[in-house]
Amino acid sequence: MRITIIWVPEYAARRRRKGLFQPRSFRTVPYTLPALPYAFDALEPHIDAQTMEIHHSKHHQTYVNNLNAALKDTPHEGLSVEELIAGVEKLPEALRAPVRNNGGGHANHGLFWTVMAPAGQGGGGAPTGALAKAIDTDLGGFDAFKEAFTKAALTRFGSGWAWLSVAKDGKLAVESSGNQDSPLMLGIGSGNTPILGLDVWEHAYYLKYQNRRPEYIAAFYNVVNWAEVARRYAAATGG
């Protein structure tokens, strides 16, 4: 029987010790679809219930199913999906594309659901505390951040994501990625740690906003869960 060894990046191991990656049981295959932390209609009127239901139960579920199928009968115990995609370029060639696309989709959406909350119930407003100070210092203030993040989301041609990430030096960065790529993917992405992501695939907004991506992006700010983003920032920086 052929045994394949997966390379685990040292930086991922350090982040696990910091508690950045969510705790999992030792065996991480099969992966499962995480439950939404709110009802499908909870983000109305900013993101509609039908989009949320299809996006979560159909699109995200498909990424999970495809990832599990790709990893079936391979020795991939012990890695969270974030750690798996971080080392995607070191995987056997036959697994790289399936993990990049479907592992990326699973990880990206897993973050996406948690960084949103119903408006007035944790969603919207502005960051506070250490995260707010970092946005002021690293990005020139909240308004400057929103301008840069909006531009990243608007100018991502085709499908992809806009990100607020923590760089290796601990500073914040705004970036974007194509398709289901993640900043976590060494050799593909920046190697930064994403703490806020916005899905700009058309399936994320087309039922409500059609081709009006700018309106969708503007609406997103009304449901950003800044407390969760701050928690992720603290984990990424060891705060």
Provide CB contacts within 8 A for 18, sequence distance 6+. Answer: 235, 236, 238
Classify residue 170: in a domain, yes or no: yes
CATH of the domain at 230: 3.55.40.20
Q: In the sheet that 193-199 helps form, which strands lie side by side, from edge to edge? A: 172-178, 160-166, 193-199
Residue 12 lies in a domain: no
Classify residue 196 as exposed, middle or buried by CB count within 10 Å of its CB (0-12, 13-18, 19+).
buried
Domain with 108, as residue range(s), is 47-238
Indicate whether 132 belongs to any domain: yes
How far apart are the C-alpha atoms of 5 and 151, rounded to whole Å?
40
26 is a domain residue: no
| Number of independent structural domains in the chain | 1
Cα-only R_g, the chain: 17
Q: Is residue 122 part of a domain?
A: yes
**Predicted TM-score of the model (pTM):** 0.88
Q: Which amino acid is at 102?
A: N
Among the residues of the chain, which ranges form H helices?
A: 10-18, 49-54, 61-71, 81-86, 93-98, 104-114, 129-139, 142-155, 206-209, 213-220, 226-237
Give, for all 239 residues of the chain, the pLDDT tens digit: 333 334 444 444 444 444 444 433 334 568 999 999 999 999 999 999 999 999 999 999 999 999 999 998 887 756 799 999 999 999 999 999 999 999 999 999 999 999 999 998 999 999 999 999 999 999 999 999 999 999 999 999 999 999 999 999 999 999 999 999 999 999 999 999 999 999 999 999 999 999 999 999 999 999 999 999 999 999 999 97
Ramachandran quadrant class, 179 (left: phi over 0; alpha: psi -120 to 50; beta: rest): left
User: Using CB atoms within 10 A of its CB, is residue 135 exposed (0-12), middle (13-18) or buried (19+)?
Assistant: buried
- Please tell me the distance from the alpha carbon of residue 152 to that of residue 4, in angstroms, as a whole number: 38
Place of tokens 């295959």: 29
- Tokens for 145, please give them: 């951040």
Taking the C-alpha atoms of residue 94 and residue 111, their distance in angstroms, rounded to an integer, is 26
Is residue 23 included in any domain, yes or no?
A: no
Domain presence at residue 106: yes
- First-to-last alpha carbon distance for the chain, in angstroms, is 45
Domain annotation covers residue 40: no
CA dihedral (127, 130, 136, 138) positive or negative = negative
